[in-house]
Amino acid sequence: MPTLALLASHPLGVRCLDRLHDHPDIEVTAVVTYAADAETWWDGSVRDRALELGYEPLSRDEIDQLTETPVDYLLSVYYPDILDESLLDHPDELPLNLHQAELPRYRGSNVFTHSILNAREDDYWRHGTTLHVMEPSVDSGAIIDRQFAEIRETDTARSLYERVCEASIDLFEAWLPAIADRTVAEHQTPQSAFDGPRYFYAKDSLDGRKEIDPERLADGDTELYDRIRALDFPPHEPAWTTVAGERLYLTRDGYRRYRQ
């Protein structure tokens, strides 16, 4: 039976943990996630769920302990830190990542926002999720498989995020048998084999994008509409403008006043 160490956060991480725990032919030997006192914006805690299932989760600053015990797979699901080569080389089979975007098209961060921002100009109305092998360079490893969700004209970044989470679960469940029987490594396709544009966005890629000149609000153009809904991801700060000295938050469905 292969062993697996899960590095995870977010509700998607909780759902992947549940599926791994219930799988009769995979043994979860470690769970690494945020510390108990970490402040996060999402509902659901991988740490709490791991404790409920009988695991003793490690915090992010304890991740080097993984190298003390043999393991067949590492699986990263919304894990925030880049792993060093000693960790990536540690599993006997593969270090895997469930990336919430289509590779090689979208590497890095803020992928739901940028996917909506680029959809109209690129005439590319879908967003993917990718199971891939981890390498030292971020999101650059060989691809195992991808699954897609439609980008709709009415989507916000948050609604697209929610729908892609469902696609990610479908993709993960589809590949659990190959992880269990150790054949997943036979299905690697290098990213160089895929066509199309390639984007990389850093964590600060939205800096300076949220303030909108109030004079533009009367234009009614699609670029502005796309920008507002692409930045609409509660509970994060959305796009905003200033009218008569007062900040107004702009969302797909309207506006609201700034409150500290």
- With helix as H, strand as E and coil as C, how does the chain read? CCEEEEEECHHHHHHHHHHHHHCCCCEEEEEEECCCCCCCCCCCCHHHHHHHCCCCCEEHHHHHHHHHCCCCEEEEECCCCCCCHHHHCCCCCEEEEEECCCCCCEEECCHHHHHHHHHHHHCCCEEEEEEEECCCCCCCCCEEEEEEEECCCCCCHHHHHHHHHHHHHHHHHHHHHHHHCCCHHHHCECHHHCCCCCEEECCCCCCCCCECCHHHHHCCCHHHHHHHHHCCCCCCCCEEEEECCEEEEEECCEEEECCC
Establish how many alpha carbons lie within 13 A of residue 51's alpha carbon, considering only the half-sphere containing its beta carbon.
Answer: 10
Q: Are residues 146 and 247 in the same domain?
A: no
pLDDT given for residue 38 in this prediction: 96
Boundaries of domain holding 248: 214-257
Give yes or no: residues 181 and 130 share one domain. yes
- 53/104 same-domain check: yes
Q: Has residue 182 got a pLDDT over 80?
A: yes
Same domain, 138 and 238: no
Q: Does 134 lie in the same domain as 32?
A: yes
Whether 23 and 64 map to the same domain: the answer is: yes
Is a pLDDT exceeding 70 seen at residue 259?
no
91 and 157 in a single domain? The answer is yes
Are 197 and 250 members of one domain? no
Position 220 scores a pLDDT of 72
- Put simply, whether the predicted model's pTM sits higher than 0.85 gets the answer yes
Looking at the 3D structure of the chain, how many domains does it have?
2
The predicted-structure confidence for 105-128, as pLDDT tens digits, reads as follows: 999 999 999 999 999 999 999 999
Look at residue 260 in the predicted model and tell me its pLDDT: 44
φ, ψ of residue 227 to 5 degrees: the values are -65, -45
Asked if 121 and 168 sit in the same domain, the reply is: yes
Please check whether residue 16 lies inside any domain of the structure.
Answer: yes
Q: Are 201 and 189 in contact (CB under 8 A)?
A: no
Per the listing, tokens 């989470």 go with 165
Structural domain includes residue 195: yes
Share of the chain above pLDDT 70, in %: 98
Does residue 208 belong to any structural domain of this protein?
no
Task: Give 19-58 pLDDT, tens digit per residue.
Answer: 999 999 999 999 999 999 999 999 999 999 999 999 999 9
135 and 58 both lie in a single domain: yes
Tell me: do 116 and 26 sit in the same domain. yes
Q: What is the mean pLDDT of residues 65-79?
A: 97
